[in-house]
Chain A
Amino acid sequence: MAFNDYDADATELLETYDFLMKYIIIGEAGTGKSCLLHQFTHNSFKDHSQHTIGVEFSSRTVKLGEKKIKLQLWDTAGQERFRSVTRSYYRGAAGAILVYDITNRQSFTNLGRWLADARALASPNLVVVLVGNKSDREDDREVEWAEASRWAAENDVHFLETSSLTGDNVEAPFLLCARSILLAIESGSLDPDKAGSGVSYGDRALRRVNSSSRLSFGSLSGRRRKGSSKLRLKDYVPGTANSKCC
């Protein structure tokens, strides 16, 4: 159907997107998953947050380079009793934000279990970003940055620290995750056309696919060649990094 006259005016006003990605946010109870998400979607700290019951949902569209990406975010309960429920939500997630509390060693030592769950239940191309939350509470720190960074390297996940209280670095894990997924798509290891990948093309991308090659990601391709993902990770060292990923 041709209704270009109206469409053309409104295209940019809309939240059309190139990709839709499904994320799952996991980690021990009380590590600040919901607050992190709230900070990401609302730009504010969630006071008096209660334990999440089961799974909650929110979404946000982000811009990464030229791409607009809609993130469907599934915030899971960290409590043990909900594990059987939350496990079902790993299915078809493209990215996982694995959160621990830097002031709580226990939440860090349990990471292995969470990661194993995620790897076992989610799509094979799952991109995991490890997030050390509550970086504002430096005095109570129980997990050193270096140690977590080592763990992340050993387990082949991205790592950074955030503070959902101050909002410091909060966008970075989501953008970092999106970027990795885009790179996977670009390299061909992930196909958004396949269901269950946790990624699908948005309307905007579909329109573009019709006119040009779907695998051209513009500025993104250029950046990828500049450095390995590890180099980029350094940008996320807290204190030195700018909190904006792109």
Chain B
Amino acid sequence: MSSPAPRPSTSPLASRRLVSGVSPSHSPSQARNPVSLRLYKVLGAGFEDEATKEALRTVSELYGASNAAGSKTTNVNGNAKPIAGSSEDSDELDSDEDERSDTDEDEKLSLGPYLSRQVVAPTGAAARARKNLRRDIDLKLASSSRKFLKALGEVDQKLDALQEHITSMRTQCDEAHEQLQTTNEACKSLLDQAGNLRQERDMIATQQTILNLFLSRFTLSSEEVTALTSRDVPPGKLFFTSMDKATKVREDCRVLMGVDGPTKAGLDIIAATFANLEQAYEKIFRYLVSEFQTIGRGNRDRERSVDPDANLEASPILKEAVRRLRSRPELLSEALGALSQTRQSTLLATFLDALTRGGPSGLPRPIELHAHDPLRYIGDMLAWVHQAIAAEREFMESLFGLGREGESSRRMIGSVRRFEKGKMGETEEWIGEVVDRNVGKLCGPLRVRVQQTVRSQERPILAFKIANLLHFYALTMRRTIGEDAALSQALGELSEMSYKVFFDAIEAQGRALLRDLDDSALSPPATVEEHMQTLREILSVYESSRLDDPSDTQPEEDGKAETSGGQSHFGVERILEIMINPALEVCLTAAEDKKRSRPTWDKSVFVLNCLTYLQGVLEPYPFASAEKERLDALVEERVNDLVNEHYLDILRDAGLDSAVAVLETKAPGDPLSRIEATQPNELSLALQKFSNWLSGLEVVHSPRLSRLTVQRLHSRIHQAALTRVANAYRKLCEEVRKPENKYEAASTLLGGQRPFGQIHLLNQIFGLGDEGE
């Protein structure tokens, strides 16, 4: 293909020059502008570009094919050409090759003959082609156009059909659309309805969850209700949690009773839970009652009855039940009443067993075996009761969970003292009350036995010991179970009674002293001595109960005074009074009586002896000091009396009595020597008698006073009397020496007999100090 291309390209160049040269005048305008421009453009144009090449190639193919076929028929060529042409057309339809092909056409048109010649010259086919090109192309174009037309006609027809289809489809679509719309319209309400329903459902679901929450919060499940109310289900964990819940519900219900007045739901719920709770409390109550009844009897059933505290335990449920029921005090107290009843009878039975039967094998021995020893008997009974109380109390404390929560078993049960000091909380009151009731029934048998024992006491000392013991336990019980407890009161009464028995006993003993008094001895009567022996024993018992530890007495006494109204101290005063007074009375009346029947009997010495004996009894006891002081005063009085008596006795014995009497009684103006009893002769005799007396034994020892049991008093009285004698003698001497008494030889008169008128000598003889007046 490339080989033929340059040739035509070079040749047209030359031919064009020729043409332009040949006919310039033929068409000057044409030659000048468009044609020449075109020519130049054509000449300037290279055919090297692909499009041109392609076009040329197509043309060549158009003919090439017919050449190759030997161009047998033009028809064939003609047939072939339009095809190639059509393809060429289609190929170069909208490019600028249009223009070129136009120019080609023009060239062919204008230069056709020349070119045909030139071209035909080398080959016939080419020439022919050149000649027919246009036609061929037209033909070809026409045929292809026809083909197009035909095809397009078909297409048109198809399109028409299609159009029809589309139209019908459209109408149908419209219809469908219309239908859809109507359906839509119709559905809309349904949809709305559905939407509403859905909303409603959602709302209801929310409400339901809310309601469920509400119900679960504000109502009890049937299971819980059953647990709370059924008689068949014993209280257990579920029961208590249900109770908690019910309580919580009631608390929460306050919300429902809001500002705008109570809501119906709130009221209903409150009513329902109230009923449930009441039933629950009822149930607890019934449970407690039945449990208490079995617990109370537990020990009896097991035939281990003597130990009252054996196996008294509170189970956790029991404790919890009690704790719950505390918010229903009336029920609790009724349940506890049931407990008290059973405990009462159990304790009573075990107490009686301990009293009469002892243990099953007789060990420990029954308490009543020691009934002959009243102290031990009563002590054992009270100790048993005390221990029973401790056990009861411990049980109650564990029942009420007192001080046990959170702490392990280390926790100690309140001791007696701590209980006393501890504040009485509500629980304490419960416990105290129940313990009181539990042990209350023990009062009966205890009282009977103690009373019997106490009443049968005749010996005051034992009665006193028993009274002390009872008093001690009365205090202990008061501190353990409180002042108002039945047992405390019973013990208080018993203690009082025993004191009364004791006082009665000593009073009776005192009264007994008054009989049988005929006895000339100067020592205290034997009955008084016996009596005082009793007092001594009582006082030493009292002392041992009081002065065992001097450093500790003070606070203890305070405590006792507080709790017993100072009974102990008052008690001893009273004892002393009761014991001493009759003794004193006995001594004094006895002295009078005896004096009356025996004038010579020495009353003063006897009384002093009695008094000093009583003093001696009280001497060792500091707490008896008041009583002793009373006695001291009495003794002092009696001593002075005796001193006086003794002084007069001595004067009488020594013969000075009349002279001394004169000294004291004479009128101031009378001279002594003129009075009868003191005339010089008389006086001289008296002085001689005195001198004789002075040499006697009586100066140092008075037989009368030697009958005093206390020698100290003997010498004291004797000395005092002698002092007075010496004073009397000195006064006598002074008077005799006085000139106005008109003694003629005063110094002779006095110096004739010992002590020669010398006081100091007399004092020496008497063994008195010189300083005496």
Asked if A195 is at the interface (CB within 8 A of a chain B CB), the reply is yes
Kindly supply a per-residue 1/0 record for chain A positions 47-84, scoring 1 wherever the CB is within 8 Å of any chain B CB and 0 otherwise: 00011011111111110000010101011000111001
Asked if B360 is at the interface (CB within 8 A of a chain A CB), the reply is yes
Contact A195 B234 (CB under 8 A): no
Give residues of chain B (199-244) contacting chain A, Cβ–Cβ below 8 Å.
234-238, 240
Asked if B552 is at the interface (CB within 8 A of a chain A CB), the reply is yes
Q: A54-B472, A123-B363 are in contact. Are A20 and B383 (CB under 8 A)?
A: no
Contact B363 A196 (CB under 8 A): yes
Contact B364 A92 (CB under 8 A): yes
Closest B residue to A74 using CB positions? B387
Kindly supply a per-residue 1/0 record for chain B positions 363-406, scoring 1 wherever the CB is within 8 Å of any chain A CB and 0 otherwise: 11000000000011001101110110011001000100000100
Asked if A203 is at the interface (CB within 8 A of a chain B CB), the reply is yes
Closest B residue to A13 using CB positions? B316
Among the stretches A2-10, A133-141, A174-182, A214-222, the one at the interface with B is A2-10
Asked if A87 is at the interface (CB within 8 A of a chain B CB), the reply is yes
Contact B307 A92 (CB under 8 A): yes
Chain B hits for A9, CB < 8 A: 237
Complex Cα–Cα for A24 and B480 (A):
19
Asked if A1 is at the interface (CB within 8 A of a chain B CB), the reply is yes
Complex Cα–Cα for A207 and B359 (A):
24
Asked if A146 is at the interface (CB within 8 A of a chain B CB), the reply is no
Asked if A106 is at the interface (CB within 8 A of a chain B CB), the reply is no
Chain B hits for A74, CB < 8 A: 387
Q: A5-B236, A91-B364, A194-B359 are in contact. Are A41 and B476 (CB under 8 A)?
A: no
Contact A195 B313 (CB under 8 A): no
Tell me the smallest distance from the CB of B356 to a CB of chain A, in Å. 13
Tell me the smallest distance from the CB of B301 to a CB of chain A, in Å. 12
Chain B hits for A41, CB < 8 A: 410, 412
Asked if A245 is at the interface (CB within 8 A of a chain B CB), the reply is no
Asked if B608 is at the interface (CB within 8 A of a chain A CB), the reply is no
Tell me the smallest distance from the CB of B759 to a CB of chain A, in Å. 60
Contact A195 B305 (CB under 8 A): yes
Asked if A200 is at the interface (CB within 8 A of a chain B CB), the reply is yes
Chain A hits for B416, CB < 8 A: 56-57
Asked if B33 is at the interface (CB within 8 A of a chain A CB), the reply is no
Give residues of chain A (123-151) contacting chain B, Cβ–Cβ below 8 Å.
123-124
Asked if A154 is at the interface (CB within 8 A of a chain B CB), the reply is no
Asked if A244 is at the interface (CB within 8 A of a chain B CB), the reply is no
Which DSSP category, helix, strand, loop or mixed, fits chain A's interface? mixed
Chain A hits for B382, CB < 8 A: 88
Tell me the smallest distance from the CB of A174 to a CB of chain B, in Å. 13
Chain A hits for B390, CB < 8 A: 57, 72
Contact A88 B376 (CB under 8 A): yes
Give residues of chain A (11-34) contacting chain B, Cβ–Cβ below 8 Å.
11, 13-17, 20, 22, 29
Contact B311 A56 (CB under 8 A): no
Tell me the smallest distance from the CB of B355 to a CB of chain A, in Å. 12
Complex Cα–Cα for A15 and B376 (A):
35
Asked if B544 is at the interface (CB within 8 A of a chain A CB), the reply is yes
Chain A hits for B305, CB < 8 A: 195
Q: A5-B238, A84-B375, A85-B383 are in contact. Are A59 and B548 (CB under 8 A)?
A: no
Contact B358 A59 (CB under 8 A): no
Contact B304 A193 (CB under 8 A): yes
Tell me the smallest distance from the CB of B591 to a CB of chain A, in Å. 39
Contact A85 B545 (CB under 8 A): no
Closest A residue to B382 using CB positions? A88
Q: Within the complex, which residue of A61, A85, A200 is in contact with B409, where a contact is CB–CB below 8 Å?
A: A61
Closest B residue to A206 using CB positions? B311
Contact A60 B412 (CB under 8 A): yes
Give residues of chain B (279-314) contacting chain A, Cβ–Cβ below 8 Å.
291, 302, 304-307, 309-311, 313
Q: Within the complex, which residue of B363, B379, B417 is in contact with A88, where a contact is CB–CB below 8 Å?
A: B379
Kindly supply a per-residue 1/0 record for chain B positions 538-555, scoring 1 wherever the CB is within 8 Å of any chain A CB and 0 otherwise: 000000110011001001
Chain A hits for B376, CB < 8 A: 84, 87-88
Closest B residue to A121 using CB positions? B364
Contact B359 A195 (CB under 8 A): yes
Closest A residue to B316 using CB positions? A10
Asked if A45 is at the interface (CB within 8 A of a chain B CB), the reply is no
Contact B545 A81 (CB under 8 A): yes
Complex Cα–Cα for A84 and B470 (A):
12
Asked if A105 is at the interface (CB within 8 A of a chain B CB), the reply is no
Closest B residue to A15 using CB positions? B409
Contact A15 B404 (CB under 8 A): yes
Q: Within the complex, which residue of A22, A56, A72, A79 is in contact with B549, where a contact is CB–CB below 8 Å?
A: A79
Contact A3 B409 (CB under 8 A): no
Q: Within the complex, which residue of A6, A55, A80, A201 is in contact with B240, where a contact is CB–CB below 8 Å?
A: A6
Complex Cα–Cα for A55 and B382 (A):
12
Asked if B600 is at the interface (CB within 8 A of a chain A CB), the reply is no
Complex Cα–Cα for A16 and B311 (A):
10
Complex Cα–Cα for A193 and B299 (A):
11
Q: Within the complex, which residue of A17, A51, A57, A88 is in contact with B413, where a contact is CB–CB below 8 Å?
A: A57
Asked if A202 is at the interface (CB within 8 A of a chain B CB), the reply is yes
Closest A residue to B380 using CB positions? A88
Asked if A110 is at the interface (CB within 8 A of a chain B CB), the reply is no
Q: A87-B376, A194-B359 are in contact. Are A58 and B472 (CB under 8 A)?
A: no
Asked if A42 is at the interface (CB within 8 A of a chain B CB), the reply is yes
Chain A hits for B240, CB < 8 A: 6
Asked if A155 is at the interface (CB within 8 A of a chain B CB), the reply is no
Chain B hits for A206, CB < 8 A: 311
Contact B237 A54 (CB under 8 A): no
Contact B412 A200 (CB under 8 A): no
Chain B hits for A202, CB < 8 A: 311, 313
Kindly supply a per-residue 1/0 record for chain A positions 167-186, scoring 1 wherever the CB is within 8 Å of any chain B CB and 0 otherwise: 00000000000000000000
Chain A hits for B409, CB < 8 A: 15, 60-62, 68, 70
Asked if A89 is at the interface (CB within 8 A of a chain B CB), the reply is yes
Contact A6 B317 (CB under 8 A): yes
Q: Within the complex, which residue of A55, A75, A196 is in contact with B364, where a contact is CB–CB below 8 Å?
A: A196
Tell me the smallest distance from the CB of A209 to a CB of chain B, in Å. 11
Chain A hits for B665, CB < 8 A: none
Asked if B56 is at the interface (CB within 8 A of a chain A CB), the reply is no
What would 12 more interface pairs be, CB under 8 Å, given A9-B237, A194-B360, A200-B307?
A: A3-B235, A6-B235, A6-B237, A15-B409, A16-B313, A29-B549, A57-B387, A88-B379, A88-B383, A194-B363, A196-B364, A200-B304
5 contacts between A and B (CB under 8 A): A3-B235, A5-B238, A16-B313, A58-B412, A196-B359
B: residues with CB less than 8 A from A are 234-238, 240, 291, 302, 304-307, 309-311, 313, 315-317, 320, 358-361, 363-364, 375-376, 379-380, 382-384, 386-387, 390-391, 394, 398, 404, 409-413, 415-417, 465, 469, 472-473, 476, 544-545, 548-549, 552, 555-556
Q: Which 4 A-B pairs have CB atoms at the shortest separation, nearest pair first?
A: A88-B383, A195-B306, A61-B409, A200-B310
